[in-house]
Amino acid sequence: MDRFEAMTLFVRIVESGSFTKAANGLDIPRATATLAIQRMESRLGVRLLERTTRQVRPTPEGKAFHERCVRLLAELEDAEATLKPAADNPDGVLRVEMHGAQARLIVLPRIQEFHRRYPRLELILTSGDRFVDLVGEGVDCALRSGAPADSSLVARKLAEMPQTICASPAYLENAGYPRHPGELHKHQVVNFFSGNNATDSTLDVIVDGRSRAFEVGGWITVNDASTYVESGRQGCGMIQLPRFHVAPLIERGELVEVLPEWSKPSLPLHAVYPQRRQLSPRVRVFLDWIASIYAARSGA
């Protein structure tokens, strides 16, 4: 392992707080990672990491060294990009995480365009509702809905996704069609929770120019987007989510929009990535392309 590879490993360990996560992200044995850091500390003559049974954290000297390593690695990648055609046609592996519905309904229908434009890139696309540790798992960037929650990541806003409230025809026939947001408390919702977030049991509607969250009861709680939609389709209660996700079901009459004359707050979509990835040509071209995809769908 050369010095730059060892520096990359060190940065991954500091940012993930784990030898194992860093080693897995770089696809090397944990023993190799341990030996590389020991040799680095021996060469520098200073202890960089404090190791306990529960966590790994940098020493004061390690914190300073980490900051320098992040800058050096970013500058190295940028310098290499200027000396070869990688800036316009990058190569290598690009790891991207996004929600399954975004991949299926928005990105994949146009992914061949991206491949034709950047044929030297190998794309590893993972999707799901699990909150991914970008640094620990070696993911280059992710698409996330809502306000960015991790201040250690760089966030680039891609779009504002229009939302809708909908329910199955059978549910509305049985429970009634609300005519005003004030009637929502009489209804049921499908509750949703993700990761460590609190369960969401509200419906958001814009009233008098402001977004208001209406608390609604519900008897079923799920933590998967596909299950959430299917629960709504099966009449378990109302659901609220970006309209693109359920547009085909609405068009087929399997779901019905609720309070269509009332605006709902849009949901921001951000691309997030570790700070050291901000100069990567691979990440840069993907973000520019994905931003154009969502720009073309604005207002959809």
Kindly report the number of other CB atoms within 10 A of residue 284's CB atom.
17
CATH number at residue 66: 1.10.10.10
pLDDT of residue 299: 45
At 121, the amino acid letter reads: L
Assess whether 96 and 238 both reside in one domain. no
Q: Are residues 153 and 273 in the same domain?
A: yes
Please check whether residue 224 is in contact with residue 261, taking contact to mean a CB–CB distance below 8 angstroms: no
**Same-domain pairing of 238 and 220:** yes
Summarize pLDDT for 219-239 with one digit per residue, the tens. Answer: 999 988 899 999 999 999 999
Q: Same domain, yes or no, for 106 and 191?
A: no
Q: Taking a C-beta distance cutoff of 8 angstroms, is the pair 193, 223 a contact?
A: yes
pLDDT for the residue numbered 12:
87
- 105 with 44, same domain: the answer is no
**pLDDT tens digit string along 197-225?**
678 899 999 999 999 999 999 999 998 88
pLDDT given for residue 164 in this prediction: 97
- What is the number of domains present in the chain? 3
Are residues 167 and 234 part of one domain? yes
Residues 48 and 138 in one domain: no
Angstrom distance (rounded) from CA 279 to CA 251: 42
What is the reported pLDDT for 241?
95
Of 82, 115, 133, which closes a domain? 82
Contact 2, 36 (CB under 8 A): no
| Final residue before a domain boundary, out of 65, 82, 99 | 82
- Amino acid 86: pLDDT: 54
Spans in the chain with pLDDT lower than 70: 78, 80-87, 129, 195-197, 276-279, 298-300
Strands (DSSP E) along 23-112, which ranges?
49-51, 56-58, 92-98
Tell me the pTM: 0.71
- According to DSSP, the residues that pair with 49 across neighbouring strands are 58
Task: Give the chain's end-to-end CA distance (angstroms, integer).
Answer: 49
Number of C-beta neighbours around residue 254 at 10 A: 15
Amino acid in position 127: S
Q: Which letter does DSSP use for residue 110 in this model?
A: G
User: Domain holding 289: CATH number?
Assistant: 3.40.190.10
CA separation for the pair 221, 228 (Å, rounded): 8
Taking the C-alpha atoms of residue 29 and residue 23, their distance in angstroms, rounded to an integer, is 6
- Asked if residue 257 and residue 168 are part of one domain, the reply reads yes
- Containing domain of residue 217, as a range? 163-265
